[in-house]
A and B are shown apart, each in its own frame.
Chain A
Amino acid sequence: MIQYLHVRPLPADLHHWRDKIEALAREHGLDFYDVFFEVLSYDKLNEVAAYGGFPTRYPHWRWGMQYEQLSKSYTYGLSKIYELVINTDPCVAYLLETNEMVDQKLVMAHVFGHADFFKHNFWFSRTNRKMLDQMANHAARVRRYQDQFGQTRVEEFIDVCLSLENLIDLHRPFRPEVKHEVPRPKTDLPDELIGDGQRVARLEAKEYMDEYVNTPEYIARQRHKAQEEAKKAAKHPAQPERDVLLFLMENAPLTRWQRNVISIIRDEAYYFAPQAMTKIMNEGWASYWHTKLMTRHILDDSEVIDYADRHSGTTVMHRGRINPYKIGLELFRHIEQRWNKGQYGLEWERCDDMAARANWDTGAGKGMEKIFEVRRHHNDVTFLDEFLTPEFCAEQKLFTFEHNPKANEWRIASRQFQEIKQKLLFQLTNMGQPLIEVEDANHDNKGELLLTHRHEGVDLEMSYAHATLRNLFALWKRPTHIATRRGDKGLMVSFDGEQVKERVYKL
């Protein structure tokens, strides 16, 4: 099944609890692919975690970097990994050998929550569940290229790709493949209107003279000319393309192995994207289920205090950022409570009597049903857009903060619901990455590449943009540009192969 993992059987006590917790999870309606638990030493766990949960990845220094950070953090006692689970069929999850029994139970309950989410959340529906094999194939392919073309050369190319890794189109996996169909004649339209849909200019002539003035040869010549013109004028890409990696793969002057490397990076970026898109929901869902299962069924009396200690550790609030475990968990509970009490629908929306709202309870009891539905359809953006309420923000003490350049300090900006919501949604939209599209592959009619940044209020970090344009040049091999904004002015940043230039213009 999973050949390279050599899954060892779990020790008897863990095995006992594993089965018990799985049965409990299923009883509560969770549904998942088989889950394999593997017990690892901390060193091995750090290794697997550095590889993003997979036993093997293509050779690259950044895994080494992550490994160093994880092992140093562990050695200095700063952090240790509690749970690690990957979205595959079967699911693979790891347990740290030295954890206490109560930790292992907590992790297992949490993991079954994730496993259910992976299987049922819409945004995961297009991910490759055989990613273990795929990653191993990627690794083998990159190793082969390194043997063939040199480690440094391949690694340098991977670095260039990684610097564009965030330029993918999160919605692409869900769009039906666009087929470029050749339009077929449907009726007896005049010949010149068929095919390219371009109207060919006819010379004016009386009806009976037409076939002599507008001879078939003449029409054919005219049509050919029009087609040529149209081809020149046609922009490539016809629509702005958000999947920049794909566009480069198809259009940049690259060799075969380079195209393959881009496709590997792109593949993995698409595989990991749903996890970033549902971080709050996914952790919230898993935390919801571990608290429910642990406190109602699993814990024995002597473990309560240790459990409470661990649980509060994962759901602690931070002043400088939001904790996805905490917000996700609380929001699922909030939804469950609202639907249990019937706090939804037109009447609820229209009611502005605070007292009535506070005591609203129709006994609808639809909470459990609702949260299962929510976990199926939403991602973090829609989750918060739909279910964040002023009551929830106040309860959770949310605020927005901003930087005050004069004092060079961060301060609390507002506790207004609208502002909090807007800021949260902005942070989560497109996984917090700027929206960037390929606008024109023949910019200025010189074969130069133009990207556009869809500016939505926040400027790009310029030093990074410069360096990224250089990397883009390395692939495109012609000058590269990005059109963005600086404040309320337009800004065109260009790299011509030698230096970066910035040009500000009025919008």
Chain B
Amino acid sequence: MSRIKQDHSRFRDIVRGKVRRNLKSYISNGELIGKQGKDRVSIPLPQIELPRFKFSAQDGGGVGQGQGEPGDSLGQGDGQPGEGQGEAGEGEGEKALEVDITLDELAQILGEELQLPHIEPKGSKQVVSERDKYTGIRPVGPNSLRHFKRTFRNALKRSIAIGEYDAKNPVVVPIKEDMRYRAWTTIKSPQANALVIYMMDVSGSMGDEQKEIVRIESFWINTWLKSQYQGIETRYIIHDATAKEVDEHTFFHTRESGGTMISSAYKLAARIIEEEYTASEWNIYPFHFSDGDNWSVDDTATCIEILRERLVPVSNQFSYGQVESPYGSGQFIKDLRQHFDTVSAESPLVVSEIKNKDAIVGSIKEFLGAGR
């Protein structure tokens, strides 16, 4: 192994928490999601910053260059403006490096990092939909796709090279060889649709930290499933003793109190599927997150029954994620393990325990690793 590979694997081991746990507080990769723009996200690369005596950042300010009047804003946030896209180089002591990428790329990276298999969709496989995507530049094409800047650049280069260019009369006339056009590739994909139903226990025992875990995890699951399917529909159900369907914002921000009847959510999910979707046409992914505390043994029995009769058979995969909370008994996951085969690779019911934020990555792999 080359020396840099040794240093690199040492770094990875520290980041993963295998060795040198005392460095943990200096690792900055906490959030899996960084800033989230329209359809780009920036994910911070893991970085360990050793403590030093240094100036507090916000006192400082600095000197910049460009247009603007005193009082004009340079951007929000805690970090210094303009950070992130710094050129790599002396590297030392520079701020957290962030990578700006599209969701498509992100899903690809996620797939590679976790070695997720591509999903084999069910339903109308034979229906192929085509989508065109601009991917490059080529020298021939229709005029409507002419890339003006590239064409001009080539023309300018050519006219300078052959000595035709006159700075006093800078007229550049492109000839046929200068022309550049946008090129596209056609992406063929089976027209398969997916339905994702997120269910979450919002009873009193689910605190903010637990919800944050659900939020991050469902973001990544969505990102991956979106990359695998043409159309994806998402439905959100929250429940305590009763269940109701809500929008995304409410889903992540509601805090209810009271008891927990998991069966209420399962009933609602089953009804949504039966009334609005054809199971043979749709790839259905119910996800349920809870701290594992159910009201009664009877209700758990009802849950098992609904799962067995109405949910698991129609789903590509039913996923249950149990977050750890200081109050929950964590019994439900044990019940599921008892009644279903959750171990074998073919099982359509997958369970995962998510102890803390660091466990999210592993849990995503457990959920999506089967490629269903």
Contact = CB atoms under 8 A, between A and B. Distances in A.
Contact of B3 (A56, A300, A408, A420): A56
A326 B83 CA distance: 17
Interface in A404-428: 405, 407-415, 420, 423-424, 427
Interface string A381-409: 00000000000000011111111010111
A261 interface: no
Interface string B10-27: 111010000110110110
Interface in B28-66: 45-48, 50-66
B82 A318 contact: yes
B81 A319 contact: yes
Nearest to A464: B51
B14 A61 contact: yes
Contact of B12 (A64, A305, A403): A64
Contact of A409 (B26, B77, B92): B77
Nearest to B157: A305
A403 B57 CA distance: 9
B55 A434 contact: yes
Contacts of B92: 272
Contact of A458 (B52, B56, B74, B162): B56
A319 to B, nearest CB: 4
Contacts of A461: 54-57
A400 B74 CA distance: 11
Nearest to B75: A410
A502 to B, nearest CB: 14
B67 interface: yes
Interface string A433-451: 1101000000000000000
A275 B91 CA distance: 13
A427 B63 contact: yes
B87 interface: yes
B53 A420 contact: no
Contacts of A275: 90
Given A61-B11, A155-B20, A405-B58, A321 B82 contact: yes
A451 B52 CA distance: 14
Contacts of A68: 8, 11-12, 45-46
A423 B66 contact: no
Interface stretch (B97-105, B236-244, B257-265, B325-333): B97-105
A464 B158 CA distance: 56
Contacts of A56: 3
Contact of B48 (A61, A415, A432): A61
A211 B316 CA distance: 111
Interface stretch (A19-27, A69-77, A112-120, A245-253): A69-77
Nearest to B64: A319
A424 B65 CA distance: 12
Nearest to B96: A69
Interface string A279-297: 1000000000000000000
A102 to B, nearest CB: 11
Interface residues of A, number: 93
Interface in B275-321: none
A10 interface: no
A65 interface: yes
A497 interface: no
Interface in B157-173: 157-158, 160-163
A167 B20 contact: no
A459 B56 contact: yes
Interface in A68-110: 68-70, 72-73, 76, 78-79, 81
A361 B10 CA distance: 62
A193 interface: no
A254 interface: no
A64 B76 contact: no
Contacts of B78: 408
A166 B67 CA distance: 35
A78 B51 contact: no
A73 B101 CA distance: 11
Contacts of B51: 163, 463-468, 471
A433 B76 CA distance: 25
Interface of A: 47, 49-52, 56, 59-70, 72-73, 76, 78-79, 81, 152, 155-156, 159, 162-167, 272, 275-276, 279, 300-302, 304-306, 317-323, 326-327, 396-403, 405, 407-415, 420, 423-424, 427, 432-434, 436, 453, 458-468, 471, 482
Given A317-B65, A482-B53, 14 more contacts: A50-B7, A60-B7, A68-B12, A76-B101, A155-B20, A301-B161, A301-B162, A305-B156, A321-B82, A399-B63, A403-B61, A409-B74, A410-B81, A423-B62
9 contacts: A50-B7, A52-B90, A64-B4, A76-B101, A300-B161, A321-B62, A396-B65, A401-B64, A459-B55
